[in-house]
Structures are given as structure tokens and as C-alpha cells.
């Protein structure tokens, strides 16, 4: 048996496998993307594997996790998102109000994703936000705000 020592396997073994939801992994990986240059930054991975290899592993992992999310039907996405929300410290109603108003989930899409996959993700999340808006009794956003 060989032990995979790549940056991607290290990332999965030591970090991503500890995050219980696919949506949570998506949030985590997107948070490592520098909004100014699009590169992924992870101090520990960069120290061990170098910045370029760490960036490649994080970018690939982000796309892989995103693709995994898209394989879920709406029921599976809702269950995963329910589990993600259950792990947050913030009030769920406040989170849903904010997400309905600001749509921060759109910032979770890997840069490489275009067209149909992008639209599918956004449409699925919009449907889920509508569902959660009803579940948590969140008022519709004011269109004039």
C-alpha cells in the first residue's frame, strides 16, 4: 500500500474530510480564494508543497467539491444545507434573511465554472432560499431596498 503525499490528498485527509457537509467544504474552499488575484492561499499547504502546488490543489478541490454539489438533487442539497446551517453559531433566520438579500452563495462558484453549471447552481440555491425563507418565516426582500 502506498501513501499519497500530494497536496490534494493532504488537503482532503487533514482538512476537507473534517468538514461534514459538501456545502461547508464549498464555503471553506471559496474562502481560501484571494478576491484580488483569484489564487487560493493556504499557509500550511504552501509551507509543505509550495504556493503553486497548494494553489493547484485548492483550485482542483474547489472544482471537485462544486461538481459533487451539482450531482445532488434538490432534496439532497436541502439536507446538506440543513446540516451546514445546523453547525453555524448564527441564528438560522438571520442567516437566511442575509442570504436572500445578499446571495453570498454566488461567491462560492469556482472561477472555471461557466454556463449551464453556473446557472444550475444559482437556480438551485435560489429555489433552496425560497424554501428556507418559508421554513424560517423570512419576509421577501424589499425590491426597493
Summarize pLDDT for 22-62 with one digit per residue, the tens: 999 999 999 999 999 999 999 999 999 999 999 999 999 99
- Asked whether 132 and 93 are in contact (CB, 8 A), the reply is no
What is the C-alpha radius of gyration for the chain, rounded to an integer number of angstroms?
A: 17
* Residue 144 included in any domain: no
Q: Residue 141: inside a domain, yes or no?
A: no
Burial of 57 (0-12, 13-18, 19+ CB in 10 A): buried
Domain count, the chain: 1
In a domain, 92, yes or no: yes
Residues of the domain holding 51 = 7-135
Residue 1 inside a domain? The answer is: no
Global pTM value: 0.90
In which residue are the cell numbers 432560499 written? 129
The mean per-residue pLDDT over the stretch 118-143 comes to 87
Instruction: Please indicate, yes or no, if residue 26 is contained in any of the structural domains.
Output: yes
pLDDT 10s digits, 74-103: 999 999 999 999 999 999 999 999 999 999
Quickly state the pLDDT bin for 13 (edges 50, 70, 90): confident
- Which residues lie across from 40 on neighbouring strands? 33
Note whether residue 143 is domain-resident: no
In a domain, 145, yes or no: no
User: Does 121 reside within a domain?
Assistant: yes
Amino acid at each position: 500500500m502506498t501513501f499519497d503525499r500530494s497536496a490534494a490528498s493532504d488537503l482532503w485527509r487533514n482538512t476537507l474530510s473534517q468538514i461534514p457537509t459538501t456545502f461547508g467544504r464549498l464555503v471553506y474552499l471559496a474562502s481560501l480564494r484571494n478576491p484580488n488575484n483569484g489564487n487560493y492561499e493556504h499557509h500550511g499547504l504552501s509551507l509543505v508543497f509550495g504556493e503553486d502546488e497548494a494553489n493547484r490543489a485548492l483550485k482542483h478541490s474547489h472544482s471537485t467539491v462544486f461538481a459533487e454539489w451539482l450531482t445532488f438533487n434538490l432534496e439532497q442539497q436541502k439536507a446538506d444545507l440543513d446540516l451546514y446551517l445546523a453547525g453555524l453559531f448564527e441564528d438560522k433566520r438571520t442567516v437566511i434573511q442575509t442570504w436572500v438579500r445578499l446571495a453570498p452563495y454566488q461567491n462560492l462558484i469556482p472561477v472555471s465554472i461557466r454556463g449551464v453549471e453556473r446557472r444550475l447552481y444559482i437556480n438551485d440555491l435560489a429555489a433552496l432560499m425560497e424554501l428556507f425563507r418559508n421554513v424560517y418565516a423570512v419576509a421577501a426582500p424589499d425590491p426597493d431596498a
